[in-house]
């Protein structure tokens, strides 16, 4: 029988294993030829051990216990008087010994990767005395390894990255596999690496597990990710060895190997001339296959006639070039612009300069479209001045605006009344001349800021706005007055020439050179014997006493009229009265009390008298309250007695109704709904004694069309009126229509009525009804008979 190469190798391995087991699984204890020796008063035979290590094969799968080895003592004569015992690691649980023969067996499957060896102790005992016949000996059972563990990648699966366009042999990542088998015995733990998937792009070092690039110029833009499968095999990769695999994901990282390129050589955009400054006109983008920082670009306008009108910036998120307006566009001035725009990479890799310039150019043409623009004022802000003495109708200044379009429509002016609520100014709708409409007062408002509206006559929706600042010039129209309300006092012991008050003045006017006030006493107060006034020539004056001996009992208050004149042209003056109170002062001249009654009260009434007066007042108040309470209790309730005939009483109601706003006195439904059909109703609060024949009722239904047309006309007028307020408002019109469902309420039509009602009883009602009796009566005294 002819064996193949593989079968022959297996046969050799099995034969070697069998020879190893047969040569090492026995240990013989032989007695030496040495003489006996004495120890501790007794003699014993000294023996020596011929000792070999025990070996046992792991992963034994047989059904019978696995024979490990044999223990034997020279003392054992084979007559059964000696027994063997075993102790230590795994004794009795894993390893057992035949106490008669000394044979050791393993009862369980052993795994070298769990425990590589066991240390045990053996001893021979006399079976009768159970005493040792030999000293205890220690031996080791080693577990012999077999290839039962495959290599494992403990850190897998792996991810790694390598720059695109890397040269061949660039290291990517190292993978490592571990084998739990014994590395010191055979080739069970010797691992070699190979690549199962990922060729021809990558390779792996068989011994180190280092993965490297195998192809040059791998382009991320073509393929950016690769999945590799790496195998680790023990037994140095020979047949029969165990293997394990792992996956490695390799990502090609980007490098700047692609220059930016515009998809088109030219672009064209249309923009209205009314587009405000800073608005976006267009977005352009140069294509770049790179990503991240390698795709960052900058844009700039390198040429063209719109360098000062437009600018371009980059959007950091999208890498687009954003073209915006820097100056206002004017179709009438220029209808188109041409821009030459360059896009360039910000981070250029010198290794790839040979691929071409990393920039590109394109042309952008911008067409300006004409729009109907609002009128434009010649100045954004007009400054005007007017005197506050100007009369109504005085011309202040003129504003001017024009239609910038080619049609140059006429312009009409108006004032935005939201900026001139008091309507101080008017403007001529055609000329733009601003005049005063009311008297002005600088002290109320020194500067008026108004907005002037300019509207195209052909298109009132186009409104331009101009701003006017009107400064009111001051005139001397306010007289000076005290700067504050003075509380002046004079001590009873004041000496002549003593200063009791320093006064100053204010003036609401604002003269260019400042205020200058002159103080003096009025003519009637100039010769008084009590006080004098001294002008300090610094817009202040001092009040001094002219005598001593002021007494509160004689006069407690003095009134000093002071005449103040300003320096305006013409000058204005005013008389201000200074109130001076006489007070009792301490030694330092500080007023203690200024009440003159403090001297009078003790002389007139005592404290007891004041208490008596207060008690009388309280008594009177109590009596008044009692009287009012009693009268309220005696009042009869306003309820009619059942036996009283209310028809014999005339009840007068002084109530004429609330007019059109009274919604309680009559039915409002008739006013809200013009189509309602009203029937004749009688009053329910009185009992009618005479039945009147009602006038024929014309139940006509007026048409609401006339009211709708009237309101619609007023609405259209308000929409086109430039002076109408730009907010919702309630407009009330005194329009009653062409007719009324109630007909005429006049009694004059009753004359021509064909009613047969007899009104002669009116003559019996007294002189107050004589006129009605003459008008409606049938007697000879009838007014119209």
Q: What is the mean pLDDT of residues 536-550?
A: 91
Q: Given a cut of 80, is residue 662 above it in pLDDT? A: no
Dist CA 112 CA 146 (whole Å): 9
Any idea which residue has 């993978």 for tokens? 175
Is the separation of the CB atoms in 245 and 231 below 8 Å? yes
Q: What is the pLDDT of residue 435?
A: 95
Q: What is the mean pLDDT of residues 760-772?
A: 77
Q: What is the pLDDT of residue 24?
A: 41
Please confirm whether the linkage preceding 157 is cis (ω < 30° from 0): yes
Q: Given a cut of 90, is residue 505 above it in pLDDT? A: yes
State in Å, rounded, how far the first CA of the chain is from the last one.
Answer: 168
Strands (E), 457-572: 463-473, 481-482, 488-491, 499-506, 518-521, 531-535, 540-545, 557-565
Band (725; pLDDT cuts 50, 70, 90): low
Dist CA 118 CA 139 (whole Å): 9
Greatest pairwise CA separation for the chain in angstroms:
193
> Among 555-564, 650-659, 674-683, which is the least confidently predicted range?
674-683
φ, ψ (nearest 5 deg) of residue 551: -130, 130
Dist CA 79 CA 71 (whole Å): 16
Nearest to 145 by CA among 103, 177, 106, 189: 189
Q: What is the pLDDT of residue 418?
A: 93
φ, ψ (nearest 5 deg) of residue 131: -105, 150
Q: Given a cut of 50, is residue 543 above it in pLDDT? A: yes
Band (250; pLDDT cuts 50, 70, 90): very high
Q: What is the pLDDT of residue 15?
A: 52
Dist CA 135 CA 47 (whole Å): 10
φ, ψ (nearest 5 deg) of residue 222: -85, -45
Dist CA 127 CA 713 (whole Å): 139
Q: Given a cut of 80, is residue 737 above it in pLDDT? A: no
> What is the three-class DSSP state of 160?
strand
Q: What is the pLDDT of residue 755?
A: 53
Structure tokens at 225: 């990710």
The continuous run of DSSP H or E covering 599 comes out as helix 597-604
Is the separation of the CB atoms in 481 and 574 below 8 Å? yes
Residues 6+ apart with CB under 8 A from 63: none
Domains of the chain as residue ranges with CATH: 51-142 (2.60.40.60), 150-251 (2.60.40.60), 264-367 (2.60.40.60), 374-471 (2.60.40.60), 479-591 (2.60.40.60)
Q: What is the mean pLDDT of residues 103-130?
A: 85
For the four alpha carbons of 441, 442, 445 and 446, in that order, the dihedral sign comes to positive
| Dihedral angle of Cα 638, 642, 646, 648, to the nearest 10 degrees | -120
Any idea which residue has 């010769």 for tokens? 527
Q: Given a cut of 60, is residue 465 above it in pLDDT? A: yes
Is the separation of the CB atoms in 85 and 97 below 8 Å? yes
Beta-carbon-side half-sphere exposure of residue 314 (alpha carbons within 13 Å): 19
Q: Given a cut of 80, is residue 421 above it in pLDDT? A: yes
Band (101; pLDDT cuts 50, 70, 90): confident
Band (20; pLDDT cuts 50, 70, 90): very low
Nearest to 12 by CA among 519, 20, 171: 20
Q: Given a cut of 60, is residue 520 above it in pLDDT? A: yes
Q: Which residue has the higher pLDDT, 201 or 65?
A: 201
Structure tokens at 536: 């300090």
Nearest to 374 by CA among 399, 332, 405, 400: 405
CA distances from 209 to 152, 171, 192, 252 (A): 13, 11, 8, 20
Q: Tell me: the pLDDT tens digits for 567-595?
A: 888 888 999 999 999 998 888 888 888 87
Is the separation of the CB atoms in 445 and 388 below 8 Å? no
DSSP 381-446: EEEEEEETTPPTT-EEEE--EE--STT---EEEEE-TTS-TT--EEE-TTT-EEEE-S---TTT-S
DSSP annotation of 178 reads B
Dist CA 438 CA 242 (whole Å): 111
Band (624; pLDDT cuts 50, 70, 90): very high
Q: Given a cut of 70, is residue 743 above it in pLDDT? A: no
Q: Given a cut of 80, is residue 611 above it in pLDDT? A: yes
Please confirm whether the linkage preceding 200 is cis (ω < 30° from 0): yes
Mean residue pLDDT of the chain comes to 79
Q: Given a cut of 60, is residue 599 above it in pLDDT? A: no
Is the separation of the CB atoms in 591 and 489 below 8 Å? yes
Q: What is the pLDDT of residue 712?
A: 81
Dist CA 770 CA 764 (whole Å): 9
Band (703; pLDDT cuts 50, 70, 90): low
Nearest to 306 by CA among 281, 285, 287: 281
DSSP annotation of 263 reads S
Please confirm whether the linkage preceding 570 is cis (ω < 30° from 0): yes
Q: Given a cut of 70, is residue 654 above it in pLDDT? A: no
Structure tokens at 572: 């204005």
Band (96; pLDDT cuts 50, 70, 90): confident
Dist CA 510 CA 741 (whole Å): 67
| Dihedral angle of Cα 215, 216, 220, 221, to the nearest 10 degrees | -110
Q: Cβ atoms within 10 A of the Cβ of 602, count?
A: 10
Band (666; pLDDT cuts 50, 70, 90): very low
Q: Tell me: the pLDDT tens digits for 213-230?
A: 999 989 998 999 999 999
Q: Given a cut of 90, is residue 708 above it in pLDDT? A: no
Structure tokens at 778: 């049938």
Whole-model pTM: value is 0.44
Q: Given a cut of 90, is residue 407 above it in pLDDT? A: no
């Amino acid at each position: 029988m002819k064996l193949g190469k593989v079968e022959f190798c297996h046969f050799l391995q099995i034969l070697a294993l069998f020879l190893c087991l047969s040569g090492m699984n026995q240990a013989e204890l032989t007695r030496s030829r040495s003489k006996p020796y004495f120890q501790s008063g007794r003699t014993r035979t000294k023996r020596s051990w011929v000792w070999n290590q025990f070996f046992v094969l792991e992963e034994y799968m047989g059904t019978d216990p696995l024979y490990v080895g044999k223990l034997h003592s020279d003392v054992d004569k084979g007559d059964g008087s000696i027994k063997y015992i075993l102790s230590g690691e795994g004794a009795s649980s894993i390893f057992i010994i035949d106490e008669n023969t000394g044979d050791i067996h393993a009862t369980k499957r052993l795994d070298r990767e769990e425990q590589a060896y066991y240390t045990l102790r053996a001893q021979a005992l006399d079976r009768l005395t159970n005493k040792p016949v030999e000293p205890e000996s220690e031996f080791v059972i080693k577990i012999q390894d077999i290839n039962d563990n495959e290599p494992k990648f403990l850190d897998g699966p792996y991810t790694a990255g390598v720059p695109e366009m890397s040269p061949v042999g660039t290291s990517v990542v190292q993978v490592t596999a571990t084998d739990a088998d014994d590395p010191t015995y055979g080739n069970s733990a010797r691992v070699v690496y190979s690549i199962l998937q990922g060729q021809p792009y990558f390779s792996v070092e068989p011994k180190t597990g280092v993965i490297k690039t195998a192809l040059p110029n791998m382009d991320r833009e073509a393929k950016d990710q690769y999945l590799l499968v790496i195998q680790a095999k023990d037994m140095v990769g020979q047949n029969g060895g165990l293997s394990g695999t792992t996956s490695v994901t390799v990502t090609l990282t980007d490098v700047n190997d692609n220059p930016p390129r515009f998809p088109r050589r030219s672009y064209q955009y249309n923009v209205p001339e009314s587009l405000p400054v800073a608005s976006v006109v267009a977005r352009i983008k140069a294509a770049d296959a790179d990503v991240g920082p390698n795709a960052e670009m900058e844009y700039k306008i390198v040429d063209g006639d719109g360098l000062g009108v437009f600018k371009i910036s980059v959007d950091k998120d999208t890498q687009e070039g954003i073209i915006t307006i820097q100056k206002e566009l004017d179709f009438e001035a220029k209808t188109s612009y041409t821009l030459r725009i360059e896009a360039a990479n910000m981070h250029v890799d010198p290794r790839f300069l040979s691929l071409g310039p990393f920039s590109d150019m394109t042309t952008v043409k911008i067409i300006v479209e004409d729009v109907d623009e609002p009128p434009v004022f010649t100045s954004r802000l007009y400054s005007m001045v007017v005197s506050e003495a100007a009369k109504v109708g005085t011309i202040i200044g003129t504003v001017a605006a024009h239609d910038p379009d080619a049609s140059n429509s006429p312009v009409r002016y108006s004032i935005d009344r939201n900026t001139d609520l008091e309507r101080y100014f008017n403007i001529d709708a055609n000329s733009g001349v601003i005049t005063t409409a009311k008297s002005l007062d600088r002290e109320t408002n020194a500067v008026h800021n108004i907005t002037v509206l300019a509207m195209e006559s052909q298109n009132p929706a186009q409104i331009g706005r101009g701003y006017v600042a009107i400064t009111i010039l001051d005139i001397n129209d306010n007289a000076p007055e005290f700067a504050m309300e003075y509380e002046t006092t004079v001590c009873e012991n004041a000496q002549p020439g003593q200063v009791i008050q320093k006064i100053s003045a204010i003036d609401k006017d604002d003269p260019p050179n400042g205020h200058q006030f002159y103080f003096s006493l009025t003519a009637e107060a100039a010769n008084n014997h009590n006080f004098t006034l001294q002008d300090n020539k610094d817009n202040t004056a001092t009040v001094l006493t002219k005598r001593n001996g002021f007494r509160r009992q004689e006069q407690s208050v003095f009134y000093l009229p002071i005449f103040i004149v300003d320096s305006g042209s013409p000058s204005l003056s005013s008389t201000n009265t200074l109130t001076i109170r006489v007070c009792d002062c301490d030694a330092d001249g500080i007023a203690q009390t200024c009440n003159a009654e403090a001297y009078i009260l003790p002389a007139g009434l005592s404290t007891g008298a004041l208490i008596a007066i207060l008690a009388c007042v309280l008594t009177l108040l109590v009596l008044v309250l009692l009287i009012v309470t009693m009268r309220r209790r005696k009042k009869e309730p306003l309820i009619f007695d059942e036996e009283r005939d209310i028809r014999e009483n005339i009840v007068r109601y002084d109530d004429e109704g609330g007019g059109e706003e009274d919604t309680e006195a009559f039915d409002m439904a008739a006013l809200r709904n013009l189509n309602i059909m009203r029937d004749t109703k009688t009053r329910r609060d009185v009992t009618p004694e005479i039945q009147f024949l009602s006038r024929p009722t014309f139940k006509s239904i007026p048409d609401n069309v006339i009211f709708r047309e009237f309101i619609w006309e007023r609405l259209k007028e308000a929409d086109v009126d430039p002076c109408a307020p730009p907010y919702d408002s309630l407009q009330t019109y005194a329009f009653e229509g062409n007719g009324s469902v109630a007909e005429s309420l006049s009694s004059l039509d009753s004359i021509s009525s064909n009613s047969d009602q007899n009104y002669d009883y009116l003559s019996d009602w007294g002189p107050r009804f004589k006129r009605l009796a003459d008008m409606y009566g049938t007697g000879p005294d009838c007014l119209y008979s």
